[in-house]
Amino acid sequence: MTGTAPSTAGRSANGSASWSASEAIQHHYDVGNDFYRLWLDPDLTYSCAMPEHRDDDLVAAQQRKLDHHLDAVDAEHCGRLLDVGCGWGSVLGRALARGTGHTVGLTLSREQAAHIEQQRDGRREVRLENWADHVPTERYDGIVSVGAFEHFARPEDDDARRIGRYRDFFTRCADWLTPGGVLSLQTIAYGTLDRRDASAFIQEEIFPAADLPSPLDVVTAAEGLMEIRSWRNDRLDYAWTCERWATNLRSHRDEAIALVGREVTARYERYLRFASVGFRMGKVGLLRMVLAPVGSPWSGRR
């Protein structure tokens, strides 16, 4: 679907119930790789960076973020690493460069999967597959998931169903990990914003069929199953990242319009402005966590 936004035809009145998981992901991520190249870093890392200061470089800040997660799973000593929601493969490539033996990425975006497959590296495997359908051939020494957790629940889910989805994910991760292995997780989460007041624009036009967790949702879902070994809220990092993306997109607006049209370009500019303000005000946060199966041995990994 390069060059055009996927159709929103057939969407239900509540803006989410008629979308399948793959349709919802493709609506946002399959707008076209060339469009995203205009405003992301060269590795197409579409998630919150880790800037050290206000004037930091986006490329350096994204590499710092990748290394944060790969440090957590001890990438140099990982025989096998899984990335749930692998995007265009920046975690996979960085892990291999640091010494990981084999990487597996899961995505529901055809554009992202095609981009990774073009790199033709036998150590880098991508599957167009939902984590709920994933059956690994072997266990993983580490799991990374950056920016996928936000898509696990839907706006119409009640508390029990939403937390149940998260707990199912944690259960599978615990089963997939080798002894001593950890999950490094990054997700946007509700802050001071009440779920009932969430933006219809974001839920219907940007990320349909997706809903954020609250910090309590994550803790409740992990209780008795995954030990939370570290926890940080880096919401200002995401405000900074969205502002850098918005600046890049503005500077390439004419090219963006030629690729995806004026309406889609304006939608993304509005989304990035809207998101930056939300993070600055604390309405939403950015959680970075390291979790390990309860009872997992300490193996020197963080």
Chain segment 24-67, per-residue pLDDT in tens: 444 445 578 899 999 999 999 999 999 999 999 999 999 999 99
Domain ranges of the chain: 21-293
CA distance 42 to 59: 8
Q: Which amino acid, 78?
A: C
* Contact indicator for 154, 210 with CB cutoff of 8 Å: yes
Which pLDDT tens digit goes with each residue over 163-208? Answer: 999 999 999 999 999 999 999 999 999 999 888 777 664 555 555 6
Closest C-alpha among 220, 230, 224 to residue 186: 230
pLDDT of amino acid 23? 56
Q: Is the pLDDT of residue 85 over 90?
A: yes
49 CA to centre of own chain: 12
Give 116-168 pLDDT, tens digit per residue: 999 878 899 999 999 999 999 999 999 999 999 999 998 889 999 999 999 99
Strand partners, 227: 292
When pLDDT is averaged across residues 282-299 and rounded to a whole number, the result is: 90
Alpha-helix residue ranges (DSSP H) falling in the chain: 21-29, 33-37, 58-72, 90-97, 110-117, 159-176, 200-201, 215-222, 235-251, 253-260, 262-281
Task: Count other C-beta atoms under 10 Å from residue 165's C-beta.
Answer: 19
How high is the mean pLDDT of the chain?
A: 88
Nearest-angstrom CA–CA distance, 72 and 75:
8
Q: If you count them, how many residues does the chain have?
A: 302
Please name the CATH architecture into which domain 21-293 falls. Answer: 3-Layer(aba) Sandwich (3.40)
- Per the DSSP assignment, residues forming a β-bridge with 289 are 185, 231
Instruction: Give the C-alpha separation, 19 to 80, whole Å.
Output: 33
The SS3 call for residue 44 is: coil
